Amino acid sequence: MAGIVLDHISKTFADGTVAVSDVSLAIADGEFFILLGPSGCGKSTLLNMIVGLETVSLGSIKVDGQIVNNVDPKDRNMAMVFQSYALYPHMNVRQNMEFPLKLAGMEKREIARKVHRAASILELEDLLERMPRALSGGQRQRVAMGRAIVREPHAFLLDEPLSNLDAKLRFQMRAEMKGLQKKLGTTMVYVTHDQTEAMTLGDRLVLLRQGKIQQIGTPRELYSAPRNLFVAGFIGSPAMNFLPAEVKDNHLRLPMVQIPLEQLSPGEIKPGHYIAGIRPEHMYCTDDGQRPPHAFQVKVEIIEWLGADAYVHFETDKGDWSSPISPFPDELGRKMTREGGVAMTARLDPSRKITSGESLTLAINQEKIHLFDISSGLRKKNVIKHTGWA
């Protein structure tokens, strides 16, 4: 196993493009660490610098306390697993797994032992004589992992290894990948743009944007306490709803409802304009007999029924007050409607019969409302206290 430390790493290409800017992080021995972000954020470049396929412009990379900036990739004892599997089509499974060991000059008996062990771990014993063309996508990915496992590296570096698989197979392979990492106990650094993969696989993750770190933490930390608007909007599915908000006259005012300020922790929120963030799962249906003071009515526009969930889409009214954030910043998806309201999504119990065009009464779990500074996009560390309503 290996601890990996990145100390103020930057990468600038010859044309002046800055792919990674001043990234510092520490990956612990045996940790499953995720590099997450949209396309072009620098995550693959960062992975390539760790393994040695890209040079470092500034900063240092340490593995087990030793700086490896100028160490050749083959001498870093790290194994890469690529999105494309990169199997040799003219070799069967056994030969593909043996190949890196033969290149290293290892004895035949030791090669056989390592291949047998890896095949047993990955349940490939019955496939060793098959050619890659006779394998499914999931089987090919396991062979690619097996070719990495036989090297017994300090760390595995995986660059979107599940992207070519269909949705059902990705779900299966995620579980297998997590179990494999726990069984091996080896450090894994995993690149993905899929936040579901990141949330389900990672012990910790770093979310990148334009080559810069937005937040480092556990999946739960990024979901529950996003540092800024970008993190809040990227983590979670469906995405967080963003609305203009105002603190005025002892109320938190949203386009569709007002929440009395006595429910807020005193002194933490000053009067003024904010961006409010509400996750779809933090709204719920209510009825007139048990209607909390922060309930509001909406007209259902579209329903997506997923079996275990129902995603209900609706629009808020414009409201009777102005806000300086119309339209929203680009990272919020510009969800303002033509009428000046906001397009929103609620994740509701599918057992309740809901139809398009229906008038629905919703309420917010007010303890889960996030407020963000308009200028910086940073989350305000306010807490809306529990008042007896969900």
Architecture of domain 4-233: 3-Layer(aba) Sandwich (3.40)
| Total Cβ atoms within 10 A of residue 314 | 22
Question: For 239-380, CATH number?
Answer: 2.40.50.140
pLDDT over 60 at 280, yes or no: yes
* Cα distance between residue 37 and residue 20, in whole Å: 12
Residues 16-36 pLDDT 10s: 999 999 999 999 999 999 999
The helix (run of H) or strand (run of E) holding residue 198 is: helix 195-201
pLDDT at 341: 73
Residues 224-259 pLDDT 10s: 999 999 999 999 989 999 988 888 887 888 988 888
Q: What mean pLDDT do residues 66-91 have?
A: 89
* Cα distance between residue 35 and residue 376, in whole Å: 24
Q: Helix, strand or coil for residue 361? A: strand
The model's pTM is: 0.87
pLDDT over 80 at 71, yes or no: yes
Residues 158-205 pLDDT 10s: 998 888 777 787 888 888 888 888 888 889 999 999 999 999 999 999
pLDDT at 202: 94
Q: Where are the domains of the chain?
A: 4-233, 239-380
Q: How confident is the model at residue 325 (pLDDT cuts 50, 70, 90)?
A: low
Reduced DSSP (H G I as helix, E B as strand, rest coil) percent helix, strand, coil of the chain, to 5: 30, 30, 40
Q: Is 220 left (phi over 0), alpha (psi -120 to 50) or beta?
A: alpha
Instruction: From residue 262, give the alpha-carbon distance in Å to each of 116, 267, 295, 361, 382.
Output: 66, 11, 17, 23, 12
Residues 203-233 pLDDT 10s: 999 999 999 999 999 999 999 999 999 999 9
